Every structure is written in structure tokens, then in C-alpha cells.
Amino acid sequence: MSVIHVNQIKAHLTSLFHEQIDMTDCTEKSAKDYESIFLSRSLAAFVIHIDANVEPIQAAASVTDGFHDNGLDAIFFHESKKTLYLVQSKWRHDGAGSIERGDAQKFIQGVKDLITIKLDRFNKKVNKHQKEIETALADANTRIILVLAYTGQSNLSEEILRDLNDFLYDMNDSADVMELRTFKQSQLHHIIATGALGAPINFEIVLRDWGYMEEPFPAYYGRISASEIANWYTYHSKLFAPNIRSFLADSNINQDITQTLSKEPENFWYFNNGITALCSAIKKKPLGGPSRDSGVFECTDVSIVNGAQTVGAIAKANDKDPTSVARASVMVRFISLEGCPTDFSVRVTRATNTQNRIEKRDFVSLDTQQERLRTELQLEGITYVYKSGYSIDEPSKGFDLTEATVVLASAHSELSYAMQAKKGIGVLWEDVTKAPYRALFNPNVSSTRLWRLVQMHRAVDIELKNQQGSYHGRDAMLPVHGNRFLARQVFRHLDLSGLDDPNLDINEILKAIPNITAKAVELAIKAVNEKYSESYLANIFKNNNKCSCIEAYIDQLW
């Protein structure tokens, strides 16, 4: 069946990408080689088409395969999802094997060169994507998806997996910004055979302790094993389509979800809000009888409108620790759209995603120090907002909790606080009764000092933006990814001892900031290029050990 499946994949790709793939560099190739190159490039475009959920013409434009492609056959940045796709594809006419280790290693090196902006090592096709590459890598929230696609039947070899996992480990040393996805023959054929992009997603689910809502519209609800939900993520491109956002792997909330699944899965049901799914129809099967303890249900044309983060986090946790995830369950409700008004699905989506919820920062409002600072600042004519739902009318005369936290973390003697402000600020608000929150907000922090630090930090940010224009390539991105670390370096080389004095004129300090900031950037670039020349910038400045090493290097040269 292998060759038959390959031929069916071939027919689908030919139909989908005929005359859309750039083949102008292959006019002198033999007919056989021309076809192989077309199919390999079409395969790269196809996985972009299905995984990024974009039109074939967009996917075809992402193909970079050719001489000097450095192992990257397609590059696509999905700006709204903040996801950068890097693809290597291999067409095997016989349907055997997978990808050669040498090709995988070339791919890894190509990814390294790309994320360090060494675009001179790539062909013109890659360089056509320079703007989107730089846009993607300049955003600290960008996810990088490495995709290997091939028409062989075999899994990747242990050696290749080891090479890839070692690389991912290095890239994800402080935050999971990069992941690997593979598409081999069986998966490709299944996607094509089932029409994954167009055909509805149908589930058969097991609901425990289930209940039924008959009017005004039918719905079933109950507990589902987290392990079962992890399998749903296979359909993520279409399953989350109606949701207002897809899975945000690196958010603080999702880190909390995975942590709960790992450390106390039995409590997950109590801590999680659950999942809301819509389906065109849901029917209970006779299996299990009328008992509400457990029931098997057939769900047709399923889409998740609230809970994408829960599904994605469960799948991510399941990859690392399936045993723990198997002990967790999730509250899920399936709403049938049979007999519902035409706009009902849109209203459900909007309502389930806009209900107010309490975030970690909301608990900060319980701390009396916040109200003290607000009152003191108000007397000085400065607006300070620490509660959600309030805004600042005039930014030049006000600031909020997030800015205050970043500023205090950057100015604190503890390096890890500045790094945490970059990695995930929510951790700094985790517990208002102890450090790190108490180390930042306490009775010793005067409103005068805080406002002056805010002004100084804003001056640093302005100069960091100016510094971007003084450098090129990867170096130009350092002021963006290293902004918290660099602000810390500036604060360390300023005299902050008199900031509590109401009579102090901080203009002299503000005048010194541009030169000090420029020097901090220059030395940080030297340190990074010498010690971490192949590391992903976005993660360097979330790693305490690396930042400590860079800081020590800067201190030696200052």
C-alpha cells in the first residue's frame, strides 16, 4: 500500500499546487528530477497549508527550496498567531525510510543561522522573506515551529531524534519557544484522505458523571479524561478555528496549567474552568444504558470555542508526563447547534471569551501598599493605576502596575527579578505576602522614588529604540529582547541613593542615561556574540545563568 499512498499524495499535491510553485530554477533539469523537486517543494507548501491553515497560494509563496537554501525548504510567519514555521521536506517515490541524518543536521544548522540573522548564508528565496523573518524574531512572543515532512513510512531514527532533541533543549533552556512537528507518509495520507481542512471533525467521547440540558437548546456536560483531550490537539488548526485565539504555549496561565497537571493532577478539575465545544449534533450511544456514571457520545463537526489554552496545555503536558496527565479530568460541555438560531454559535463564542475573570494581578489590589502609593502619587499630581479596568488619561503624568513592577524589578539588586519581568511578569505577583512581590512593593518604596524610576526607565526605553538603528541583523534585536536586562545595567551605573529626596533634580541623571544605555548595549552585544553566538536572543535574556555570565563580562569591560 505504501507506493499507492505515495501516488495518492502525489496526485493531491499536483492538483493543489500546479503552476503555483516557483520552478524557474529547474528548467534545465531532467523530467524525472523536475518532478521530484516539484513534489518536494509542494510537500513543504502543503504542511504550511494544513498546519498554519492558510490558502495554497500563500503556502506556495513560502517555499525557499533551492541551491543554498541551508536546509530550509519553506519559511512562513503567521503574524496574527505569532508563529514562525521552518520546514524541511523530502519526497520519496518508493515510500520507504524517513529523512537522512545529514539532511536533519543541515536543517538544524540552517535554523541556527536563521535565528542569528546570518542571512548571507541563504539563497535569494530565503532573503525575500527577510522582513518577515526579522519581524518574527524581534517579537519575544513568537513561537518557532520546526516541521519535517517526508513520504517515507519510517519514524525518524534515534540518532536524528537525539540531534533534534539536543537542539530543542538548547533553544528552550529558559522558555519553550521552539517545537518540532513531523509529518510522515501515514499522517499525510490521512490528512488528504479525510480532507482535514474541509471535512468536519467528529469525535466519540466518554463523559463521566454526565448531565443533559434539554431546553432551550440541547447540551451535554461532564468529566473527560485529560489523556483523551490530549489527543484532540492533533486537529488544532481546525478545532480551534472559531476560537478568538489559538494555543499560547508560553503564557503564564498555560504554564500554571501544565504545572498543575504535573504536580497535582487529581486537583486539576477543581482548578480549571473547563472547555466549551460546539457541534452540529451530539448523540448518546446505547452503551452504558441510562446510567449517568458514564456515557459514550458521538459528536459531529466539533469546534472548541472556549478552552483552546486548556487543550493545548494538556497536550503539551502529556508529551512530557503522560502518567500524571492520565490522573486528571476536565469539565467539558458540548452544545448541539441543532435547532439553534444562525447567530447562536457566534454569540456563544463571544460570551464565553469575554466573561470577566480574575487574573493574578487582581489579587495585588488587596495589598495596602498599592493604595498607599496611589494616594501619595495622587497628591503629587501623578495617576497610578493598580486595579484592572482603569486607564490613564495622560501617560506623561501616570503609570500602571505593570510598568511599576517592571521598573522596580529592573532596578532591584536581585538579577532574577529583571529576568522574570521579561520571562513572565505574573510570577512577580504570585503571592503578595512574600518575595518576589514583597521585595518590590513594601513600605520602604516611596512614591517619589517610584515615579522617578519610572521616568528614568522610560528614558532608557527611548534610547534603546534609538540604539536599534545603530546596529544590523541579530545585534539590532538585542535592545529589544534584552530591554529588561539592559535597563538593569543602566540602573546599576546610576546613583539612585537620593531618589527619595523630594528636592532632588533628576534632570542630571536623565541627561546621563543615553550615554550609559549606549555603552550597556555595546558591551552586551560583545558579551552575547562571544559567549552565546548561536543562542536564540529571545531566550538568552530569560535565562538567569546566562544573564549572570553576561553581566559579569560587562562589569569587567565597563
Where do the CATH 3.40.91 domains begin and end in the chain?
Answer: 2-194
Q: At what angle do helices 473-481 and 447-468 cross, to 10 degrees?
A: 170
Span 55-89, pLDDT tens digits = 999 999 999 999 999 999 999 999 988 899 999 99
Cβ contact 360:437 at 8 Å: no
Average pLDDT over residues 113-134: 94
User: What pLDDT is stored for residue 328 in this prediction?
Assistant: 92
Sequence-distant (6+) residues with CB within 8 A of 97 are 150, 152, 153, 154
- 2-194 maps to which CATH number? 3.40.91
Tell me whether the omega of the peptide bond preceding residue 436 falls within 30 degrees of 0, making it cis.
Answer: yes
pLDDT for residue 255 is more than 80? no
pLDDT for residue 253 is more than 60? no
User: Which residue stretches of 424-536 are H helix?
Assistant: 437-440, 447-468, 473-481, 483-492, 507-531
The secondary structure of 100-122 as a DSSP string is -HHHHHHHHHHHHHHHTT-GGGS
pLDDT for residue 363 is more than 80? no
> Cell 539592559 appears where?
486
The secondary structure of 389-424 as a DSSP string is T---S-GGGEEEHHHHHHHHHHHSS-HHHHHHHHH-
pTM of the model: 0.72
Higher pLDDT, 364 or 558: 558
Average pLDDT over residues 407-422: 95
Span 90-106, pLDDT tens digits = 999 998 999 999 999 99
Average pLDDT over residues 35-64: 94
Span 329-354, pLDDT tens digits = 999 999 888 878 877 777 777 777 65
How far is it, in rounded angstroms, from Cα 486 to Cα 547?
A: 10
Q: Are strands 203-213 and 178-183 parallel, antiparallel or unpaired?
A: unpaired
How far is it, in rounded angstroms, from Cα 171 to Cα 388?
A: 35
